[in-house]
Amino acid sequence: MCGIVGAVGGNVENVKRSLEIIKRRGPDATSISEFPGVVFGHNRLSIIDLAECANQPMLSENERYVIVFNGEIYNYQEIKEIIGQEYKWQTHSDTEVILASYMKWGEKCLEHLRGMFSFCIWDITEQKIFGARDRLGVKPFYYRQMGEKFFFGSRPDAVISASGQQNVNIDNQAVRYFLEAGYIPAPLTIYQELKKLSPGHKLNFSKGILKIEKYWSLDQIETNEALSNASEEQLLAELDEKIRESVRLRMISDVPVGVFLSGGIDSSLVAAVMATMTDQPVKSFSIGFADPDFDESHHAKAVAIHLKTDHNEQKFEIDDLLQFMPDFLSQYDEPFFDYSAFPVMAVSKLARSQVKVALSGDGGDEAFGGYHYYKLMGLADQLQKWPYALRILAGKIVKFFPQHKAKLLSGFLNVEGRTESYAFLRSVIKGKTNIFSKEMLKTTKGLDKLFLERTALMPKNLSGPELGMRLDIAYTLPDDYLQKVDVGSMAFSLEARDPLLDHKLFEWAAQLPLSWKIRGTNKYLLRKLAYKYIPQEILDRPKMGFGVPMAKWLRGPLKSWVDPLINDSEGLAKLGLVPSEVQALWKSHLNNRTQSHTLIWSVAVLQAFRKERPWL
């Protein structure tokens, strides 16, 4: 796990400054290599082959190719055996395996790589770049083209620094997506001049020409309805085998490995499988809170006792998480909405005190139907059979009920089309587009349009819940959840690995009929497998997630920080917002008349980002 920077047509000094910006991603070694036409830089967090010869940038044995790489290739030992003595190995690292794979298979090397990665290879002879990002988007890849110059890196600030210029502009489309969805979907970034390489994509750059292609996607995988009648025991055996293999590969390390343990289905299953693969107690980590509304540490402890892990827990007052506010604002160097980043940073800091690598349970919800949104999308399938006028009437009736869920259902009923319904369910803004100026609405498109474009690439016979899962895998997972964990863990120089995000497991799960995912309960098949390792009475509990009391914080300890940001009318207008509408929401929230905390927080984060960058 590392931080990477590259500059085609750049200079060493700018790359040095870029590496300083992302130093926390790799504090063990910093190296820069300059070749005709390119400068590569690398901050290393040493995990596999700790020797100095495994540092990067790394030159191939024939001295034609040089690579910088962030991530892990979990099957590198298997690939190394296949290549054998065709390559003169200089290290025991997975980095060199990528180089050797590229020399043997060219761009088709990506078909062999199993892991999380973003990397670039410079062909010294041909003077060209080949780069790629992993299939599910675990590792970030930002880039900027300036004519015949090309810059890339692990974070946007590093790319801007490498390019030697700050003359960048906010992208209005990105602002709209951010405030509607809570994230900025690839390939967009907050800047017009920077892009993100989308998950499962590769690029080539030579002599001013940039070519980007998709090499992997779940979009076209069809549900295998024949599996509806498959044996449950057989499917459980297959799932168990796939997860065990995925966990085993992610435990390969030359440094200590632990696990994040929340006590939920996903992290508990990962911890349980780990426990069967080592003679020593697995080191598990969780955080807890004095406030029982946010505390799930007792669930984690119950799982830890059953698995006999070496459990490490840190208790907080919930407001103590605000100590991470400076890290949040500095490390998430693109506007970031998801405030569950605070507990992610807290548990990452705790884990880093004992290990360099921690496995997590991320990915189980998207692959196996864990979120409550998916059940609602089952309702959307039924509502499509209603006349639209009847839906509108039902929405008006439901709106009179005071409960928040009733308000949500009312909005859901008033949206026509399954994809549009899911965009509403997943949005932060929940229909409050009046905060956008008329010009902003006219010149940009909403989240529903983005989802519709992606849906058009998918099989037509997907059910509503399956459609929701595919859209989450395409956007919410990489651009929100995985970025949260990547930045939050790397802020403390900790490598987070995700066994449930193995692309082979996702391909298998995508073919499963919905009945194996949602059957009375969510994550039916994954849950049944977890019960084989941990008693059901320990695991069965309501889903919590990593929550923080943002509504309360905005009225309390964060009020003095937010207030000037929301009342900066000039700044809001620059972002394409209507100041009076935003300020009315803020006043309503302070008076406890509405719960608009997610949207207020998003606007405040966006304003803070702009104010800290006076050139914007």
Catalytic residue set: 2
Six token digits for residue 199: 């998950």
Cis peptide upstream of residue 549 (ω within 30 degrees of 0): no
Tokens of residue 306, six digits: 């059953």
- DSSP assignment letter at 521: B
Residue with token string 């459980």: 236
Q: How far apart are CA 361 and CA 542, in angstroms?
A: 17
Long-range contacts of 532-535 (CB under 8 A, 24+ apart): 532/236, 532/240, 533/268, 533/269, 533/272, 533/273, 533/276, 534/268, 534/269, 534/272, 534/303, 534/306, 534/307, 535/306
- Residue 213 class from Cβ within 10 Å (0-12 exposed, 13-18 middle, 19+ buried)? exposed
**Are 124 and 66 spatial neighbours (Cβ–Cβ below 8 Å)?**
yes
DSSP 182-207: SS--TTB-SBSS-EEPPTTEEEEEET
According to DSSP, the β-strands at 357-359 and 283-289 are: unpaired
**CB-based contacts of 13: which residues, under 8 Å, 6+ apart?**
none
Q: Give the C-alpha separation, 59 to 63, whole Å.
A: 6
- Packing angle of the helix pair 418-426, 464-471 (nearest 10 deg): 50
Q: Which two tokens stand for residue 594?
A: 């509405």
